[in-house]
Amino acid sequence: MDHRTAALGQPLARPELDPELLAKIQPVTLSRDRLIDVPDLLVPLFPDGGIQRGWSLGLDGHGSWGVAMALLASGLGQEGWVAIVGLPTFNLAAAAQYGLRLDRVLLVDEPGPGRLATVLATLLEAVDIVVLSPQNRVGARDARRLVGRAREQESILFHLDGGATWPTKLNLSLSTSIVGWEGLGQGHGHLRSRQVRVQAQGRRGSSQKVSVDVLLPDSKGKLASVEPVKFAQVESPHPTDPIAIHSLVAEIEGGRVRAS
């Protein structure tokens, strides 16, 4: 019998690996340590409670830019860098209200024909998050190469068109819709904020959609939770009096009764 072959019926001995070799091949960081923070209100949308470095993330819909600013401000903190490519209407003043450091923002003009992939590849090596919404569709070969570069550099591709111009599947897609407005009464008042529903699709390990409702923006220009509706409390001397009830309904609809 060959000395390298175990005797019949005897289990093969498990070789011991050099501890120094194990230290070199084991992951440097755990998956949860590679997360970029998101606002607490949006944590339920992300399978690991944050954005994984190396991900491709999509976001679109009414109110999506406000959500994007909140995500950027939370994810970058005080040390991160972001590049915004080809979005000249991106509202930097509003982004600053959400907490984004403008001295950590790179504004890049839309690259010329055939240069987008080269510009994005360079930025992925330099910043934490690259925000984009290309005017033209990206080729499949370039997209695969950029996704690989993002994973390698642990950077994030953040598509503000929901990935409409991207041929490969994103790790997570978020969509937003307006649920309601706050501040506008019956013929009076002014709009102060809007209630936005943010929905996540493509969560790893889950085919179900997850959504949260947020107020955007609040009185300080930031993301806020949606407060329960407060009902007006009034006293009526004759609750069953049709005239009194009709008057009360008119006052409530006219916005003249305030919630306590």
Instruction: Answer whether 40's CB lies under 8 Å from 50's CB.
Output: no
Q: Are residues 215 and 240 in the same domain?
A: no
Q: Are residues 45 and 67 in the same domain?
A: yes
d(CA 6, CA 251): 91
Q: Are residues 105 and 177 in the same domain?
A: yes
Please indicate, yes or no, if residue 23 is contained in any of the structural domains. no
d(CA 166, CA 142): 10
Please indicate, yes or no, if residue 185 is contained in any of the structural domains. yes
What's the pLDDT at 249?
41
Please indicate, yes or no, if residue 20 is contained in any of the structural domains. no
Instruction: Answer whether 127's CB lies under 8 Å from 98's CB.
Output: no
Tell me which of 19-28, 102-111, 167-176 is least confident.
Answer: 19-28
Q: Are residues 165 and 44 in the same domain?
A: yes
Q: Label residue 123 by pLDDT band (50, 70, 90).
A: very high
Q: Which domain holds residue 128?
A: 30-225
Please indicate, yes or no, if residue 179 is contained in any of the structural domains. yes
- pLDDT tens sequence across 200-226: 987 554 567 899 999 887 777 788 888
Please indicate, yes or no, if residue 25 is contained in any of the structural domains. no
Q: Are residues 162 and 197 in the same domain?
A: yes
Tell me which of 48-52, 62-66, 158-162, 207-211 is least confident.
Answer: 207-211
The 3-class secondary structure across the chain, one letter per residue, is CCCCCCCCCCCCCCCCCCHHHHHHHCCCCCHHHHEECCCHHHHHHCCCCCEECCCEEEEEECCHHHHHHHHHHHHHCCCCCEEEECCCCCCHHHHHHCCCCHHHEEEECCCCCCCHHHHHHHHHCCCCEEEECCCCCCCHHHHHHHHHHHHHHCCEEEECCCCCCCCCCCCEEEEEEEEEEEEECCCCEEEEEEEEEEEEECCCCCCCCEEEEEEECCCCCCCEECCCCCCCCCCCCCCCCHHHHHHHHHHHHCCCCCCC
**Span 164-183, mean pLDDT?**
90
Please indicate, yes or no, if residue 4 is contained in any of the structural domains. no
Q: Are residues 165 and 253 in the same domain?
A: no
**Is the confidence at residue 154, as pLDDT, over 90?**
yes
Is 15 or 178 the better-scoring residue by pLDDT? Answer: 178
Q: Are residues 129 and 251 in the same domain?
A: no
Q: How many domains does the chain have?
A: 2
Please indicate, yes or no, if residue 69 is contained in any of the structural domains. yes
The tally of CA atoms less than 13 A away on the side-chain side of residue 97 is: 15
Please indicate, yes or no, if residue 24 is contained in any of the structural domains. no
Q: Label residue 20 by pLDDT band (50, 70, 90).
A: low
Q: Are residues 197 and 242 in the same domain?
A: no
Q: What's 171's domain CATH number?
A: 3.40.50.300
Q: How many beta carbons lie within 10 A of that of residue 250, not counting itself?
A: 11
What's the pLDDT at 145?
96
d(CA 56, CA 51): 9
Q: Are residues 84 and 203 in the same domain?
A: yes
What's the pLDDT at 45?
94
